[in-house]
Structure formats: structure tokens, C-alpha cells
Structure 1
């Protein structure tokens, strides 16, 4: 079954933000439309405001002539627009004008202007004569026509003017009522045209900015994850920082730190138990070896001594594993040539007793490395003991040192099959279940080499037997 990919929090936030913005925009427009529908406001531009003020000021004298009274509203308007002008006409042809009226508006209006309700009169763009507003209205003086503007020339502007005009007319029935069945699809299309570009722009902006914002917000979490990935058995007491982690993730990091602390405590207890057990075993094993050596030389007593030696070696290997916990400041510069010669001499009696010849091949001069000498000795001793246990009981075991920092142990036994060359480094893994070894020697040697920045490999070749090589960084 294919494993389902985990969701990306970054893109979940992006999608949800886009949907939230689109929903908020739609709700905002709906609320604005409802408010305008209920309030039914009338928006006036300057020319139309002039006409509104004039309609309230037009009247007739006692002799029936048109007159424009200087009302407070009209006076304030004149103060705001000192260049305003107007023409007021009635159906009999009487007219009242004020201000600097452009010549083009002084003529008699046509039949069309007499029939329309209101209109904006606009000239060509390169014409300096201003636009005006005309409206056929009803006043105290009866039906009148007013033409007005706030300036007599386009040169009287303040430098920039923006006019926005929008007219919405809904389809109507023959009786004059609005036909919403026909109007709603058009309104929906109009809203889609207005909203879609805004949603697209907001969505693109969200796609571009949100990932960067999320990555910046999660930068501390990414650093914490990198530190967590570097935790291994040698840094098990490490605690992850929570200072730069988002507040929502901090409880998870704190719980992980508590788990690390419990694991480190349990691991230390386990190590102390193994160390104490190995130390406790050494005393009865030594007593058992002493008593066995007092027995008469018989095949059974010889096998008993071999089993006691094997048990003693296993206890020593358990102690060697605990040596790996020693800090790196115990390292010093050591000579591999001298170390190899010493280990070979110490193990020569054991190898000869087992039926082998033990040879040592030194380099031309010193080979110096910075290492924990006792740990390197134990690694080499384990390789030689491993060759003694599995080398077939005959032939020569060779310990060779070279100038590059390599230590090689060769025997003339059956060797290690290619398919098993990685498995033998696992603890307690043995090629022969009934073999004398405990399956810890190669594992211990690899851990010691890795602790010193080196490697352990099983080499192939045409030669008979096994070749195990430790490579340590030599000091040049």
C-alpha cells in the first residue's frame, strides 16, 4: 500500500487564507450593497450641487418675473466656488443668469434639452470651455430649466480633476416595477467581473508572500529539527532549544526534551548495570580460573580452562563497551607502531597456544595518531582474538601497520563470505552458532574506530583467510 504523503502546513495556510480573503471580500461587498440599498444615498458632484442650491432659491416677484434669492445655501456655495455661473429659464422664455457664462451656453436650448430630466453637457477634451449640468426641475416659480457650472473655463481647475460616473438601471415591467428575474443574472455577472480580478490579485499576493512569511516564522522550528536530526547515542543528553520555536509547537519540543532526558537516564542506568555486572563477574571468573589450573592436566580440564578464558574475554568486552563513554579529552598522540608491537607481544602466547604463528609487520618509522590509546589497544586486541577464534587453528596471523594510519589483521582461515561482511559487525552475530566467540569483537572495533573518525572494513582479495583493516587519521 502506498504511504500517504503528509500535508504541508505552508500550503494549507495559503489555501485557507485565499478562501478567507475571498469570503471576507464577498461579505464586505454584500454589506456595502445592503447599506446603500437601505440608505439610498444621493451622491452629488459640484455642478449638480449648484443646481440643487438654485432650485431652492428660484422664485417669482409680485409681477411674475423670475428671481433668484440669495439663500444661505446658495451664498455658501458661491463662497466655495467663486467662479460659479448659472442660467435659469422658464417655459415663457424668461431667464436669469449670473456669473461669467460661456458664450456657447447663452443660446436657446434645443427641443431635446427641453425634454430630458437632467444631463451633463460635455465638450471636446481640447476645448477649454467647461462642462455644465442641465436639469428640468419644478420650483416655487413652476417648471424651470437650470444650466449651471462651478467654473467658466477649464483653466480655473486646481491642476487635476477626476470624475467618476456610474449609472445602474434595473429592467422594469410595463407597470414600472423592477424585473428582478431579468436583473439578477446581470447583477451576478457584474459582481463576478468586479470580484474576480480582486480575488485573483489577492490570491497571487497570498501565494507569493505567505510561503515566505511561513518559512520565516518556522525558521526556528527548522533549526530545531536539524538539531534533533543530529542527536545520536553520544549526544543523548542534548536538549532542544525552545526560544525560537512557535508557541504552538513549544509543548511538543518540551515533551521531546523530557523524553530525551528519560532515555538518557535509562541508558545511563543500563550502562551502570552492565559495568557493575562485568566487574562483579571478573572476581568469580578469576577464582574459577585459579581453581581450574590446580586440576590435573586432562582433556576435560583443558576444555574447562578454554571456557573460562572465553567467559573472561566476554566480561572484558562488556567492560570495553563501557570504555567508549570516556570523553575525548583523554586522547593524546600515540605511535601505532609501538602500540601494535605491544599488543602483538601480549597476545603471542595465546595465539601460539591455539596453534598459530603470530607475525608483526611494522612500517619504516613512526605512525602517529591522536587517540585514546587504551581504546585502540582494545580494538586491535579484539581483532587478533577474533582471528584466533575463527582462523581455523593453524597458519599465521599477521598484524601489519602502514604509514597511512592503517592497522590490518590477516589470518589464513576460511575467511568471511562477501554476503556476511556487514552482518558480522552486528553485536552477538556469529557465522557459526557454535563458535567460541561472543560476536562482540568486530562491533567493538568499529565503534572505537568511528569514535576516532576512522573506519573498519573487511577486505577481499585472492589471498586465503580474512583481512580486517582499521583506518585512523594519521598526523602528518
Structure 2
């Protein structure tokens, strides 16, 4: 949904939701009131008991002449005043003229043995309103009220077909001459504040539904942004985030997309630089090798050849890693157990001592060539410096750990982080018979962290070293 820029902020959306909730709540209350009045009073003999909708420039009101205490009390007070101020000879004719189907009026009807119900607050409020409007009359007129059950019938000639057990009310006004005016109101609402309660319930219900819809509508793009941002932390090749949602979220998504583009460009530049440097170093190394051939001292010549081989190994290793990274291999779902098994077989074919606790059916979404290289580096280190490798895979709820154990001397705890630095080699590793370039662990950790995992080292209690390569399974 396209919204104007000023209305597309989170604050504006919340404000619109609040206004919409209140408006819909009021409309729901009005609709319920209209329906209740229509079905409740639909049997009235004329329109006098129906609900009326009054609309003006500044007000919108739903009024039921039967349920509105203020209007009804005004009608009763006017009738009482008219009867009280008229001569006794004309009082009966006045009462007969003002009688209505929804409010029957009688004058000086003998008292009957009613089973009177307790007067509720709503009816008592009506009585008080009538009493207040008659206070200015002298001598004073007292007003009383009661409820009448439907089972009681009066032989007073009045029509009781509209009386119901739920709301028949009787208002009596005692005149100063001893006569009594009785108002019988059928279906007068019981209880107090029914309209207010209906209004509050309607507003609360509609506001709750609108709030839930608004919260879900606002949370959806935020949830997508959170998932996409987390995926970006482990996969810079992921497509840019779709720009959607409120203004604040759109600005954040654009900033994240810009950051992703800059990181991708930075890594591409870094990879190209490493590849270019490694490639350019081959030419001077080739010249140095040719010049070393001309040295007459065999011992010096051997040492120079050894240094040149080490430098060439560093260059080849750096080029291989740069080329793997530059290919931007897409992530695919692979069986990690099969991948690790293939690496172990390759090491065994070259004479390495490897045992593998085979596991299959462990699916991980990754870049297979890079993960294969990281696992191969850990196994090669274990074979070269620990005399052999024992490989196993342990799967957890949302991660998988490849463990490579060896029986070597281990690494002191204070050096277990330093060995991950590029080109760092511990002194015992400088044995010419098993020389390395110091990139194996660094590459393995880089690959693992790129996938959202890590590589850690720990000494085994029984001796030797354990290398743990952790990858997320999600």
C-alpha cells in the first residue's frame, strides 16, 4: 500500500490506527444500539418508542426515547406539571390525551398488591431526574419508582401487552390534593450505564482487533529485515533487502543495502589485491631461482632453494584461497557427512593417517569448496603435527560441529588464538620436514565465520589437540 510520505512513519501509522480504532468502535456501538432497539422494540405500536439518529454539524447522537432517562424524565415532568396545574375536572382528560403505547398514564388508580422488585440504579436515576424537575413546584410533589414482574396483571383497564419481565417500570407522582399519577413504562432498561458499557466494550473490542492488525502489519517488514540482516552477517552475496515498510525502516534498509554493497566491493578489492600481489611475486621468485642455480656453494644453494620453496608455497596457498573466494561459489544444500568423508579419503590416499566416524544425512547450506578447504586444512594440521587425525561430526539443534582430534603435543592456551593469525607458525612447526606457511588455521576460521560459525582449539585431557569447526544448520 502506497501512502503519502508524511503518513508513512511509524508514529503516523500508530496515530491513524488509534483514530481508526476509536471511530470503528463508536460505529460498532451505534450499530449494536440500533440493532438492539430495532429488535427489542420492534413490536411498538408506533414510532414513538423507536431509536432516532440526530445529526448536526457538531454532534452525532443516537437517542432512544424509551431508554434515554433525560428525555423520558422531561416528558413525565411536563405531564405532572400539566395535570397538577389543571382543574380536577380536566385532569382526567389531560391524562387520556398524553397516554402513549410505550408509556401508559393513569390518574388516581387504586393501589394494587404488586410483588415489587428492588429498584435498580437506572430506574432510581430516572426517578431522581423527575424529582429534580418538579422541585420548583409548590406545594412539593413526591415521586416514587418500582419494578413490576410480568406475572402480575392489573384489572385497571390498561393494555399490558407490552409488559415484559425484564423491564416494566412504574413511576408514581403524589399530588398535593392526595391524587396520584402513575406512569407504566414497558421495557425500560434495567441496570445502570448499559449504553456506556456497550460503548466501552465495542471500543475495546474494535481497538484490540485494529491494534493486532496494525502490530502485525508493522512487525512483518521488521521481522523480514531482522532475518535478512542476520543472513547478511553470514552471506554477503545475499540479494539486497527489499525496501518496504514505514519511513524509518525504509531508511534503515537502504543504509544496510549500501553497507552490504560497500563490504562486497571491499572484499572484492581485497581479494583482487591478494591475487595480484601473489601473482606479481612469481616473477622475482623465478629470477631468484635462476640466480641461485649459479651459486657455487652447495650449502648456500640448498638453503636458498628451501626459502624459495617456502615463499612459493605461501604464494600458491594465498592464490588458491583468493581464487576460491573470487569465484563467489553459490551456497547449496550439501550432505556434510559425505563432504567430510571425501576429504578424509583424499588425505588417506596421500598416505595420511585418518579415522572417520562416518555420519550421513547432515544437511548444511554452505559453499562446498570453501568448507572442504577448511576441513582439509584442519585434518592436514592434525596429520602433520599430531601424527594422525580422528574426525567425527556432532549435530545439535541448530548447529553441527566437526571435531578433528590428534595425539600431538597440543598448543599452550596462551597461543591458541595467536595461531589463527595469517603466516604465524609456532617454533616446533618450523621443522623443514613438515614445514607449513601458517595460513591453514587462518583460512579455516575465515571460512567458518563467513558461514556464521567459528573454529576453536582446545587441549584434550588425555593429550593431544582438538580442533572444532562449528557451522549453523539453518
| TM-score, normalisation: structure 1 | 0.51
> 2:105–2:181: 8 Å Cα contact kept in structure 1?
yes
How many residues end up aligned between the 2 structures?
341
Per the alignment, residue 281 of structure 2 pairs with 281
Quote the Cα distance in structure 1 between the aligned partners of 2:71 and 2:141. 15
- Answering whether residue 474 of structure 2 is matched by residue 441 of structure 1, we say no
> 2:423–2:437: 8 Å Cα contact kept in structure 1?
yes
1:283–1:122 Cα change, 3 Å = same
> 1:336–1:401: 8 Å Cα contact kept in structure 2?
no
Match of 1:264, SS state, is: helix
1:302–1:164 Cα change, 3 Å = closer
| Offset of residue 417 of structure 1 | 0.8
Quote the Cα distance in structure 2 between the aligned partners of 1:132 and 1:329. 88
1:402–1:47 Cα change, 3 Å = closer
- Of 162, 173, 185, the residue aligned with 1:133 is 173
- Answering whether residue 181 of structure 2 is matched by residue 148 of structure 1, we say yes
Per the alignment, residue 98 of structure 1 pairs with none
- Answering whether residue 98 of structure 2 is matched by residue 77 of structure 1, we say yes
Larger Rg: 1
Unpaired runs of 5+ residues, structure 1, are 1-8, 22-31, 33-40, 60-64, 87-100, 106-113, 137-143, 152-156, 166-194, 345-359, 392-396
> 1:275–1:318: 8 Å Cα contact kept in structure 2?
yes
> 1:51–1:146: 8 Å Cα contact kept in structure 2?
no
| Offset of residue 120 of structure 1 | 0.7
CA-atom RMSD in angstroms: 5.8
Match of 2:302, SS state, is: helix
1:219–1:52 Cα change, 3 Å = same
> 1:454–1:472: 8 Å Cα contact kept in structure 2?
yes
Quote the Cα distance in structure 2 between the aligned partners of 1:201 and 1:159. 23
Per the alignment, residue 163 of structure 2 pairs with none
Alignment of 1:368-379 (within 5 A): 376=372
- Of 337, 347, 353, the residue aligned with 1:361 is 353
Quote the Cα distance in structure 2 between the aligned partners of 1:472 and 1:67. 103
Alignment of 1:264-413 (within 5 A): 264-322=264-322, 323-324=324-325, 325-327=328-330, 335-336=342-343, 338-344=345-351, 360-361=352-353, 376=372, 380=376, 384=380, 398-400=387-389
- Of 21, 44, 47, the residue aligned with 2:76 is 47
Per the alignment, residue 122 of structure 2 pairs with none
Per the alignment, residue 239 of structure 1 pairs with 240
Quote the Cα distance in structure 2 between the aligned partners of 1:300 and 1:461. 44
Per the alignment, residue 421 of structure 1 pairs with 416
Quote the Cα distance in structure 2 between the aligned partners of 1:255 and 1:280. 37
| Offset of residue 429 of structure 1 | 4.7
- Higher-RCO chain (CA-CA 8 Å, sequence separation at least 6): 2
Match of 1:249, SS state, is: helix
| Offset of residue 401 of structure 1 | 6.2
1:84–1:458 Cα change, 3 Å = closer
Unpaired runs of 5+ residues, structure 2, are 1-9, 23-58, 60-69, 113-136, 155-169, 394-401
Quote the Cα distance in structure 2 between the aligned partners of 1:128 and 1:146. 22
1:300–1:234 Cα change, 3 Å = farther
| Offset of residue 361 of structure 1 | 2.9
